[in-house]
Amino acid sequence: MSLEAALNLREPRVAAWDSDALIVLAVGRDRAEVVAREQIPRADRHAIERQLEQHEIPMGATHAGCGFVWLFTDEFLAVVQIGVGIRLEALRSDLVIAGRRVRMREVVAVQSFVDRTEAGHRGVRVVLTNNDSVTFAEQRDATRTSPEDETWIALLGRGLAAQIGVPYRDEAGKESMPGRRGDPETDVLIQGLIDAYTHWDDPDRVARREAREAAVRVRDEAILDLAYIESGQRGELPMDVAVAKMAAHFAAKIEREIPDVGPFKEIHQALPEIDNGGYVAFDLKPAQSGRVLELRVESPSGEFKESEVLRTGSTAELVRYLRAAALPDHVLPVMRRLTDATRDGI
């Protein structure tokens, strides 16, 4: 596929410079396919990078055909394996590593390794608080690990460690904080800072900076809105609007996490309290007839609790109920009644 055709694809993509060649990948959770690879003269690189920005294709990094592309920016944190898919990505305060979800605070270090017992086995892993580790980038081949191979695992390991703010351990077990004095990448970092200062007011840099800041604002607003919904805070919203938003969010969660048939663990969605009352929530529980959706209210002290069944049925039926426009008219009277019944001292 030509570079022009790759730029116009309607799917997530990421690009990276591999020596003098630009590669463009079409990326999905279980897919990472090189859709374009073109030799680009160095004099044309800046113009090509502007084209990529216009098509909202982020620039990642790779090294010497290692088979991995990594993307560490304020907007994205991901490691992609060509031919496989996404091996590591950040989702809010979590990392999804090789299909396993871990809290960011559980990460102790990022470590590159060269297996001394198996020739040709090297890679990068994340070390966790319980002395566990998860490998997300590795190679196995018949040849011994070369200096070029040790370069890409070090670049990837250092870059990830610097982005998430944890120590980096090299293949010999030596630990350092990326960016400190003596780090071979320090000169590159310093030169980048000088370049950013010198060209701060360049029109194209101003435009890119404003676009990044706008994207961050949108992302932060979305994260804050999601946090309010998941914790049952309505802010300035009217009660019926807040309940409808939280019910719709819960419906989407049920679709993602609850099977149409079979057992499951009950899940919950917090709702706004009424008149300084206690904790209010939707509870979705298994039942012999399928699933049951309850409204639960607890007094501020936790001493008094009341619940009422709102609806029973299949997963799909409860999802439709939660998304119905009339839901607040049905739920709000129940919330008020249960809140009155559980006030402390009554």
Delimiting residues of CATH 2.30.29 domain(s) in the chain: 60-198
Helix (H, G, I), strand (E, B) or coil at 113: strand
Burial class (CB in 10 A: 0-12, 13-18, 19+), 337: middle
Total-model pTM: 0.50
Q: Does domain 60-198 have CATH number 2.30.29?
A: yes
Looking at residue 193, what is its pLDDT?
53
Q: pLDDT, tens digit, for every residue of 283-333?
A: 999 988 789 999 999 988 878 899 999 999 999 999 999 999 999 999 999
How far is the C-alpha of 120 from the C-alpha of 143, rounded, in Å? 5
Tokens of 38: 């073109």
Amino acid code (one letter) for 62:
T
Query: Using CA atoms, how far apart are residues 282 and 307, in angstroms rounded to an integer?
Result: 9
Q: Which amino acid is at 310?
A: L
Containing 23, the helix (H) or strand (E) segment is strand 21-28
Euclidean distance between CA atoms 114 and 62, whole angstroms? 19
Cβ neighbours around 50 below 10 Å, total:
13
Low-confidence stretches of the chain (pLDDT beneath 70): 179-200, 276, 345-346
CB 92 within 8 A of CB 105: no
